Structures are given as structure tokens and as C-alpha cells.
Structure 1
Amino acid sequence: MREFARLLSVLLSIYNMLIIIRIILQWFNPMRLQGSENSLTGILAKIVDPYLNLFKGIGALRRGRLDFTPLVALIIINIVQRILQTFAYTGQFSLGYTLATIVQSLWWSIGSLILGIFAVLLGVRLFFAYRRTPNSIQYISMLDSWLMKPLDTIHSWFFRGREVSDRMLLWTAITVTIITYVGIAILVNLLVQWLVNLPF
């Protein structure tokens, strides 16, 4: 049984790589993927698309031009693969470990990714706050449209509607983001340890 779990884990790893290749090819040349069914991309589409299409109907995963269905598909494969790997090496399977794997994978794949991207956007916006040029105005406008709601929330919580400079607000937002990241990471690790030690 452990050898079968190891084999499934390897197959899922290969399938995971095929999905990533499919996504990258689609980014670089989306029109070419609609070509011949006998081409490499056509064969890849036949192998990968049935699984990816399982998630296409979930409207919450698609926001305008952004499509998060491949990310969710990859997360699920990674969770199953990690569970199979653990069973292959230890010969044990527990509900606690499964739940711990799910929690940890969701945090690293979604939670930390979102906070990391947010911190990078704040850092870029802060850079433009110190080095404004005529060309940077369009970037500032674009960043402000993405960051407006979180910055408004931080402004109302910490400054109670008082007027503050962009720099002060951005430094506060970066500090809050780092503290939130560290706090959630600690809580997730504590939860994972507790789940792993469950007797069932």
C-alpha cells in the first residue's frame, strides 16, 4: 500500500508540472493553444484541461480577467500529494495530519501569497511617494486604485479619520501587514502542531 501511495505521489507531481507548463504556455501564446490537437499543446490540453475544467464553474474563482481556478487546482493536487507522501514514508494516516496539511497548504498557497503581494504593492507605492516623477503619476494612480480599500480601512482604524500624509499611512500599512503576517504564521503553526498531535 505504501508503494502504491508513493507511485500516486510521483504521478501527481508529474501532473502538477504538466498543469504549470500548460498555464505558462497559455500566458505566452494563448492563440497557439487553439491549434492542432496533435501538437504538443493539444495533447497537453487533452491531459490537463479535464481536471482544470472541474473548477471553471466556480464563479468566485474568477474576477474579471483574473482566473484563480488553476491556483486552486494546484493547491488541491499539492495537498493530496503531501498526504500520500507522508503515508508512503511513515505508513500512517490520520485525520489530524490531513487537516494540518490542508491548513498549512492553504496558508502558504493563499494567505501568505496575498499578504506578500500586498506588502510588495505597498513598498512600490511608498517608493513612488518618495520619488515622484511626471512618469510615475500613472503608476501611482493604478496602485492607489488597488490599495484604496485596505488603506482606507487602516486609515479609519489607526488614525480615526485624521489627515495624515501618504508616507505615514503607507508606513503604517506596511507595519500592520508585517505584524499580521507574523501573527497569522505563528497561529497557523500552533494550529498545525495541535492537529498533528491529535490521537485520531
Structure 2
Amino acid sequence: MAELDSTDAVILELLLDDARRSFREIAEEVDLSPPTVSNRVDRLRDLGVIRRFTVDVDRTKFADEDECLVEIDTRLAHAEDVFSQLQDVDGVEHVFYTVDSTVVVKAVLPPAELRSLLTDTLSDDQIEDYHVSSILGSSWQPQLGTDDLTIECTICGKTISGDGQKVEVDSGDLYHVCCSSCVEKIIEQYESLKQAADE
């Protein structure tokens, strides 16, 4: 089932609070069995709602850590490329892409490597301007933040009702879509990308 319910919301809140919480502890909170909680978490992962389980490191505890925010005003045509390019750079912890084509990066890099991030990773024609700020402290409090837990179709953006449709492409990626025509579209897109990569 692609639709989420209030139990899914509670499970998500509990995992946001402490991702190391056991399924047994969660089961007690939501009045389900641990295997049922495990199945629900697996389903949330399959749906892409839970991307990964991670650790929030307090960088202020380490000596010689240079934590900074970099605001990059990109040229409109290059904003998405800049966002994509910065995601896999060592030392970049978070990348945000805003509606006004600004890309904000949280990085842990020495000043020389920060300059390299801007000059070697990106080209002058992608950037209009940038501003670097040193971080003195930070707090990361992820929250569910919505009562509307509907899942959108990967292709058309419509709400997936009931079970929706699932399609797994050759790469192993699993997509949840609303209908059979969106299944066809995602297969066509995948095949088109695969052919382009093979050429």
C-alpha cells in the first residue's frame, strides 16, 4: 500500500528522534508486533520516504574543523547542474537548491580546499556570485512537519492512492507511480537514458 497512515507517522517521528531505536521499542509505542514494525519500515524505505539511517555529528567537538556555509548565486540555466555537481564532493555535507537558483552548501573544508571547491568543481559561467560564512554552531532537528502523508507519483506528481503501481528498472531502482501509463513512461525514460549511455 502506498498510502501512509497515522501509525506510519508515529514510526517516522520515533525514528527521527532516534534512528537507533529498536523495532521492539517502536512496536511498544505503536501497539504492533516488532515484525510488523519492520515490515512498515521496509515499506517506507521502498517508497523512498526513508532514504537512509545516519549519524548527526557535532563538529564543534573536533579541533581544527572549518565548518562553513557557502551561498552560491548561480546563473539560472546552471542551478540544477551546480546542485548535482556539489553533492558528491568530499567535505560537502549538505546541499540545498532554492527556487531563486541559489545553491547553499554546508561544508567542512580547510580554506584552500574551499577555494578549490569553487574554482575546480564549478566553472565561472555557472556562478554569478558567492558568499562564505564560518559556522560557529549549528543544530539539526529533522521533523516530519506535516499531517498530509500522501505519496506523489514519481512521473506525473499526482497522489498515489491505494497500492499504486511499482516498477523496478534494470539498475535495481524501484519507483512508485500512480497508474500503468506512468509505468510505461518511466520504462521509456529509463530505456532512452540507457541507450544514450551506451552510445
Q: Flag the structure with higher strand content.
A: 2
Point out which structure has higher relative CO (alpha carbons under 8 A, 6+ apart).
1
What TM-score, normalized by structure 2, do the two folds share?
0.23
Q: Which has the larger radius of gyration?
A: 1
